[in-house]
Amino acid sequence: MRRNDKEITDQAEIEAILQEAPVCRIGLCDRDQPYVVPVCFGYREGYLFFHSAPEGLKIEILRNNPRICFEMDIPGRLNGSGYPCDRGIWYRSVIGFGIAEFLVDPEEKRAGLTCIVAHYTNAPANIPETRISTVSIIRVRIISITGKKSG
């Protein structure tokens, strides 16, 4: 990281961003073309979970190349004054890399989907079996992660 003064080294602070961020953006590589897509997600014990329809561009790319980059951020307020180039946004963010795998075991899929639901609500995840069998659940093993903040 170029700006050491902005680096987050406290793992608890990185985990807090993973728990608080509303959206995860995943970066995939389709041969020589990058592809970035926002996803709803859950995080638990070094793994990200997201869901998808069982087909589509994201799924096709992941089947060919399971390596991903991900980014999450929590924006703050505008800071600075005067010239526009002297302004910025306070934020906290994480960027990481991981390996995606498609879950096939119904109980693993249920656990992944429950993790995603828990990220957005405190309500119990009463997930019908028909949903479990018709959705793709992707688990990403986090290989590396860094945090950055401003403000």
- Residues of the domain holding 34: 4-150
Tokens of 114: 């429950």
- Can you give the pTM of this predicted structure? 0.87
CB 143 within 8 A of CB 98: yes
Single-letter amino acid code for the residue at 81: S
Domain count, the chain: 1
pLDDT digits (tens, 9 = 90+) for 27-84: 999 988 999 999 999 999 999 999 999 999 999 999 999 999 999 998 776 666 666 6
**Rounded CA separation 122/117 (Å):** 8
Residue 133 and residue 127: Cα distance in Å, rounded?
11
Structure confidence by residue, pLDDT tens digits, 73-87: 987 766 666 666 666
Domain CATH number, residue 55: 2.30.110.10
Q: Name 28's Cβ contacts closer than 8 Å, sequence gap at least 6.
A: 34, 35, 36, 37, 58, 61, 62, 65, 68
CA-closest candidate to residue 42, choices 133, 129, 110, 127: 110
